[in-house]
C-alpha cells in the first residue's frame, strides 16, 4: 500500500511539474529579435502566466506545448520585446488625441494659418458637446517652423475661429501656446500683466499689448485655465486614451514625464480601476509635490518612479537656454539672445539635493547647453554629499549637449535620454534658424555617447510628436531631415543599437532591466509584432514599418485590423485596443469631419471622451 501511495505521489508531482512547464501561448515561424546579446535571435517563444517560459530553437520551445497551448504562427513577421518609453507624456498624449489635430504634414494638415483656422472651426462645429461642456476650443500640435508664414499665429488670427469662446492652440513642443482675445480676457492677461518668472507673454511690436503668444510658464498659466474645466471623467479619459495610443505604436511601458495635480490623480484612479492596458510610470514635478510615494513595483500597471525637474524650454520654440546666441533670434529679441532658464540656480540645486536626500530618481529637462551645465553642477554637488546614493539620474533631451558635457554625464553616471527624432521634424529649422550650421549637426549627439561606451534612450516626447516608435527608430539611425538631408552623419547609429535605445536601455533607465527590454526566460512577456524586420529593410524605409500587434504580459492589447495592414504608420488617432471599432455597436467616425487617419476613424479618443462627458452630464455634473 505504501508503494502505491508513493507512486501516486511521484506521479502527481511529475504531473504538476509538467503542467508548470506547459505554455499558454507559443509564437513561431517568424523573425524573433531578442535584444539579448548572448542569443540575439530565436525561432520560437513560449509564454506562461504573462512571462517568457522558453525562447530559442523551435523544437526546444515546442516541447512546452500542451493540450491547451495556443500556437500562433507569425507568418514571417518580426517579433521584438515591447518598446519602453524613455520619455513621454501619456496624459498629454490623451489631450493630443482628444483635441483638434493641428500637426503639420505628414502627421496632420496644419501647413499654414488658414489651415489651422479651418481645422479648429471644423472641429468646434462637429464637437459642440465638448465645446459646451469644457467652454473652450482647443487644438494641439501647430508648429510655426512648418507654417508657410514662418510665424506664430496671433490672437487676431484665432479670433477668426471664435470671439464667443476662448480658443487655445498648443505648440508642438508643448512649451508655447496661443490664445485668442477671449482666452486672454478670461485669464486676465492685459498690457499691464507682467511676465511670470520663467515665462513670457509676447507683445505687439512697439507696445505692451499681448499678441496672444505665451511662452513657458506664461503658457502654463493660460493652459491651467483650460485644464480647470476638466472634471474627473475627462482627466481619466485622457490618461486612458494616451496609454492606448502609446500601445498602438508598440509601447508596453509608457511614461508620464511631468505629472502633477489632477492628471496624476487621474492616473492613479484609472490604474485602480484595472483599465490601464500597459505599464505607466509617472514622474511628478518636484516643485509641485512634497512627498511622492515612489516605488519600483507596479500596482495595477502604475507606479511613481521618481521626480521631474524642468530647467529650460524648447529649441524649436527658441526658449531653450543656450551658452551662445541663437543663430537667428526670435522677433523682438537682441542679437545676443540665448533663451532663458525656467528656474534659478538655487531652486535647481535644492531640488536635486532633495531628490538625492530621499533616494528619488530625478529626470531633468535640459534642452540648451546652459541648462545642462546647471543640472550637471547640481548633480555634482549632490553626489559629493550623497556618494552612495544610486538613483540613476536622467538628463532629458540634451539637444545642445557639448562633448565636454557628455564626458561629465559619463563621469557622474547620468543616463542621457536623447531626442534624435528632432533631426527629422526640426533638423532643417535647427540648421537654418535655431542653432546654425555649426551647432545643429550635433543635436542629440548619440555618436559622442556611443564613443564613450554609454547607454542612452531615444524618445518621442509625445505629444511633441506622435509616439511613433518607427519614426524614432528611423531618425536615430538615419538622422535625415524633412528635406532628406543628413544632419550630423557622425551621430548615426546602427539599427541594432537604435533598437536597444527603444528597449533594454530605457528598461535599465527605469530600474526594470531584469524584467523588461529583451526576450529572455523569466522576463515579462511584453512583445511587439512588426510588419518588417528592422535589421533587413532599407534604412530609408524604417519609418514605413508598421506595428501589427502589441502584447502586454502575454495579452494582446492592440491589434491592427486586417483592412489597415497596408497603411503606413502613423495610424493617427484611429486606434483599436482589445476590440474592433464596432464592438460597442457604434461608428467612431464623426459626421462632417474629414478623416485624418488612414483607417477612416477620426478620433477614437474623442469618442471615448464624448461618452465620458455624456455620462457626467447624465449624472447631473
Mean per-residue pLDDT, 291-306: 97
Q: Which residue has better confidence, 433 or 230? A: 433
Q: Name residue 28's beta-bridge partners.
A: 44, 73
Among residues 427, 392, 91, the alpha carbon closest in space to that of 234 is found at: 91
Q: How far apart are CA 157 and CA 403, in angstroms?
A: 42
Contact residues for 91 (Cβ-Cβ < 8 A; gap 6+): 235, 238, 239, 242, 256, 259, 263, 266, 267
Dihedral, CA atoms, 211, 213, 214, 219, nearest 10 degrees?
Answer: 120
CB atoms within 10 A of CB 380: 13
Task: Decide: 103 and 471 in contact? Cβ < 8 Å.
Answer: no
- pLDDT tens digit sequence for 55-99: 999 999 999 999 999 999 999 999 999 999 999 999 988 877 778
Q: Cell 529572455 belongs to which residue?
A: 520
- pLDDT tens digit sequence for 199-211: 899 999 999 999 9
CA contacts within 13 A on the Cβ side of 253: 33
Q: How far apart are CA 618 and CA 621, in angstroms?
A: 7
pTM over 0.75, yes/no: yes
Answer yes or no: is pLDDT of 572 > 50.
no
Task: Decide: 308 and 257 in contact? Cβ < 8 Å.
Answer: yes
Q: Name residue 92's beta-bridge partners.
A: none
pLDDT bin (cut points 50, 70, 90) of residue 370 is very high
Cell of 392: 540613476
Mean pLDDT for all residues in the chain: 87
- What's the pLDDT at 567? 28
Cell of 153: 499665429
Answer yes or no: is pLDDT of 564 > 70.
no
Answer yes or no: is pLDDT of 1 > 60.
no
Mean per-residue pLDDT, 426-438: 96
Among residues 241, 297, 295, 348, the alpha carbon closest in space to that of 607 is found at: 241
- What's the pLDDT at 130? 81
Q: Name residue 279's beta-bridge partners.
A: 253
Q: Cell 487621474 belongs to which residue?
A: 266
Contact residues for 65 (Cβ-Cβ < 8 A; gap 6+): 22, 23, 26, 46, 71
- Find out if CATH 3.90.1300.10 is the number for domain 90-231+585-618: no
Q: Cell 482627466 belongs to which residue?
A: 235
Mean per-residue pLDDT, 248-272: 95
* Cis status, amide bond into 463, omega within 30 of 0: yes
Cell of 230: 476638466
Q: How far apart are CA 248 and CA 94, in angstroms?
A: 13
Task: Decide: 459 and 86 in contact? Cβ < 8 Å.
Answer: yes
Q: What is the DSSP string of 366-385?
A: E-SHHHHHHHHHHHHHHHHH
Answer yes or no: is pLDDT of 106 > 70.
yes
- Of the listed ranges 213-222, 296-305, 467-476, 579-588, the one predicted with least confidence: 579-588
Q: Name residue 78's beta-bridge partners.
A: 31, 530
- Of the listed ranges 2-6, 135-139, 280-284, 300-304, the one predicted with least confidence: 2-6
Q: Which residue has better confidence, 351 or 174? A: 351
Mean per-residue pLDDT, 110-127: 95
Q: How far apart are CA 183 and CA 170, in angstroms?
A: 13
Q: How far apart are CA 32 and CA 234, in angstroms?
A: 39
Residue 404 to residues 238, 408, 412, 449, Cα–Cα distance (Å): 40, 6, 12, 11
Task: Decide: 138 and 124 in contact? Cβ < 8 Å.
Answer: no
Distance of CA 167 to the CA centre of its chain: 25
Answer yes or no: is pLDDT of 12 > 60.
no
CB atoms within 10 A of CB 437: 11
Angle at 571 between CA 416 and CA 114, to 5 degrees: 95
Q: Is 366 exposed, middle or buried (0-12, 13-18, 19+ CB in 10 A)?
A: buried
Indicate if the alpha-carbon torsion angle 603, 609, 610, 611 is positive or negative: positive
Answer yes or no: is pLDDT of 439 > 60.
yes
Q: What share of the chain in percent tops pLDDT 70?
A: 87
Q: Name residue 256's beta-bridge partners.
A: 89, 282
Mean per-residue pLDDT, 582-598: 28
- What's the pLDDT at 615? 34
- What's the pLDDT at 512? 98
Contact residues for 37 (Cβ-Cβ < 8 A; gap 6+): none
- What's the pLDDT at 15? 34
Per-domain residue ranges of the chain: 90-231+585-618, 305-513
Task: Decide: 475 and 423 in contact? Cβ < 8 Å.
Answer: yes
- CATH-assigned architecture of domain 305-513: Alpha-Beta Barrel (3.20)
Bridge pairing between strands 547-552 and 70-73 = unpaired
Q: Is 3 exposed, middle or buried (0-12, 13-18, 19+ CB in 10 A)?
A: exposed
- Of the listed ranges 215-219, 387-391, 605-609, the one predicted with least confidence: 605-609
Cell of 439: 551647432
Q: Which residue has better confidence, 71 or 172? A: 71
- pLDDT tens digit sequence for 550-562: 999 999 999 997 6
Distance of CA 60 to the CA centre of its chain: 38
Q: Name residue 556's beta-bridge partners.
A: 551
Q: Name residue 102's beta-bridge partners.
A: none
- Of the listed ranges 281-290, 364-373, 556-565, the one predicted with least confidence: 556-565
Q: Name residue 446's beta-bridge partners.
A: none
- pLDDT tens digit sequence for 520-551: 999 999 999 999 999 999 999 999 999 999 99
- Maximum mean pLDDT: which of 508-512, 574-578, 610-614: 508-512
* Cis status, amide bond into 106, omega within 30 of 0: yes
Q: Which residue has better confidence, 411 or 463? A: 411
Q: How far apart are CA 156 and CA 184, in angstroms?
A: 11
Answer yes or no: is pLDDT of 473 > 90.
yes
Output DSSP code: residue 341: -
* Cis status, amide bond into 374, omega within 30 of 0: no
- What's the pLDDT at 445? 98
End-to-end Cα spacing for the chain: 72
- Of the listed ranges 175-179, 397-401, 489-493, the one predicted with least confidence: 175-179
Angle at 212 between CA 208 and CA 215, to 5 degrees: 90
Residues, the chain, total? Answer: 621
Task: Decide: 572 and 101 in contact? Cβ < 8 Å.
Answer: yes
pLDDT bin (cut points 50, 70, 90) of residue 134 is confident
Q: How far apart are CA 348 and CA 352, in angstroms?
A: 6
For residue 20, give the H/E element and its range. Answer: helix 2-20
Cell of 604: 477614437
Phi, psi of 255 (to 5 degrees): -130, 140
Distance of CA 549 to the CA centre of its chain: 18
Contact residues for 478 (Cβ-Cβ < 8 A; gap 6+): 486, 492, 539, 540, 542
Amino acid at each position: 500500500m505504501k508503494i502505491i501511495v508513493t507512486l501516486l505521489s511521484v506521479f502527481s508531482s511529475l504531473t504538476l511539474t509538467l503542467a508548470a512547464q506547459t505554455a499558454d501561448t507559443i509564437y513561431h515561424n517568424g523573425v524573433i529579435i531578442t535584444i539579448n546579446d548572448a542569443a540575439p535571435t530565436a525561432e520560437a517563444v513560449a509564454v506562461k502566466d504573462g512571462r517568457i517560459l522558453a525562447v530559442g530553437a523551435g523544437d526546444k520551445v515546442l516541447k512546452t506545448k500542451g493540450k491547451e497551448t495556443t500556437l500562433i504562427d507569425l507568418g514571417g513577421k518580426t517579433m521584438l520585446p515591447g518598446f519602453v518609453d524613455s520619455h513621454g507624456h501619456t496624459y498629454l498624449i490623451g489631450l493630443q488625441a482628444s483635441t483638434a489635430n493641428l500637426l503639420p504634414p505628414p502627421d496632420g494638415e496644419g501647413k499654414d494659418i488658414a489651415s489651422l483656422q479651418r481645422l479648429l472651426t471644423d472641429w468646434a462645429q462637429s464637437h459642440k458637446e465638448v465645446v459646451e461642456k469644457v467652454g473652450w476650443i482647443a487644438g494641439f500640435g501647430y508648429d510655426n517652423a512648418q507654417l508657410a508664414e514662418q510665424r506664430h499665429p496671433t490672437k487676431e488670427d484665432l479670433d477668426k475661429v471664435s470671439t464667443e469662446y476662448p480658443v487655445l492652440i498648443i505648440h508642438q513642443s508643448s512649451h508655447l501656446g496661443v490664445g485668442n482675445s477671449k482666452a486672454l480676457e478670461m485669464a486676465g492677461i492685459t498690457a499691464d500683466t507682467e511676465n511670470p518668472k520663467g515665462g513670457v507673454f509676447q507683445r505687439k511690436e512697439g507696445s505692451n499689448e499681448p499678441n496672444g503668444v505665451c511662452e513657458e510658464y506664461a503658457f502654463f498659466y493660460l493652459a491651467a485655465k483650460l485644464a480647470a474645466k476638466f472634471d474627473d471623467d475627462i482627466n481619466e479619459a485622457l490618461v486612458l486614451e494616451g496609454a492606448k495610443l502609446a500601445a498602438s505604436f508598440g509601447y508596453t511601458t509608457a511614461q508620464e514625464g511631468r505629472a502633477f495635480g489632477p492628471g496624476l490623480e487621474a492616473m492613479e484612479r484609472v490604474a485602480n480601476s484595472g483599465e490601464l492596458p500597459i505599464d505607466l510610470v509617472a514622474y511628478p514635478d518636484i516643485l509641485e509635490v512634497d512627498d511622492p510615494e515612489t516605488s519600483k513595483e507596479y500596482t495595477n500597471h502604475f507606479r511613481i518612479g521618481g521626480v521631474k525637474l524642468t530647467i529650460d524650454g524648447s529649441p524649436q520654440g527658441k526658449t531653450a537656454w543656450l551658452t551662445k546666441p541663437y543663430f537667428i533670434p526670435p522677433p523682438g529679441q537682441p542679437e545676443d539672445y540665448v533663451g532663458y532658464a525656467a528656474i534659478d540656480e538655487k531652486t535647481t540645486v535644492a531640488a536635486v539635493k532633495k531628490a538625492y536626500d530621499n533616494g528619488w530618481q530625478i529626470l531633468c529637462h535640459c534642452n540648451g547647453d546652459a541648462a545642462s551645465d546647471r543640472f550637471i553642477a547640481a548633480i555634482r554637488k549632490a553626489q559629493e554629499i550623497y556618494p552612495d546614493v544610486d538613483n540613476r539620474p536622467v538628463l532629458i533631451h540634451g539637444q545642445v549637449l557639448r562633448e565636454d558635457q557628455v564626458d561629465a554625464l559619463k563621469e557622474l553616471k547620468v543616463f542621457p535620454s536623447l531626442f534624435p527624432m528632432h533631426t527629422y521634424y526640426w533638423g532643417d529649422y535647427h540648421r537654418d534658424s535655431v542653432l546654425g550650421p555649426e551647432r545643429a549637426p550635433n543635436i542629440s549627439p548619440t555618436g559622442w555617447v556611443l564613443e564613450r561606451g554609454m547607454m542612452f534612450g531615444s524618445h518621442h516626447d509625445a505629444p511633441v510628436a506622435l509616439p511613433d516608435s518607427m519614426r524614432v527608430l528611423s531618425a536615430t539611425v538615419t538622422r535625415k531631415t524633412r528635406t532628406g538631408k543628413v544632419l550630423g552623419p557622425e551621430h548615426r547609429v546602427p539599427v541594432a543599437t537604435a533598437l536597444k535605445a527603444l528597449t533594454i536601455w530605457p528598461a535599465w533607465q527605469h530600474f526594470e532591466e531584469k524584467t523588461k527590454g529583451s526576450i529572455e526566460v523569466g522576463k515579462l512577456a511584453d512583445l511587439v509584432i512588426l510588419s518588417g524586420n528592422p535589421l533587413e529593410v532599407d534604412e530609408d524605409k524604417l519609418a514605413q514599418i508598421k506595428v501589427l500587434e502589441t502584447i502586454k504580459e502575454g495579452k494582446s492589447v492592440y491589434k491592427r485590423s486586417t483592412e489597415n495592414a497596408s497603411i503606413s504608420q502613423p495610424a493617427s488617432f484611429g486606434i483599436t485596443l482589445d476590440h474592433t471599432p464596432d464592438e460597442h455597436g457604434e461608428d467612431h467616425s464623426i459626421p462632417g469631419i474629414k478623416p485624418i487617419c488612414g483607417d477612416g476613424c477620426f478620433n477614437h479618443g474623442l469618442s471615448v471622451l464624448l461618452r465620458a462627458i455624456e455620462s457626467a452630464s447624465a449624472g447631473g455634473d
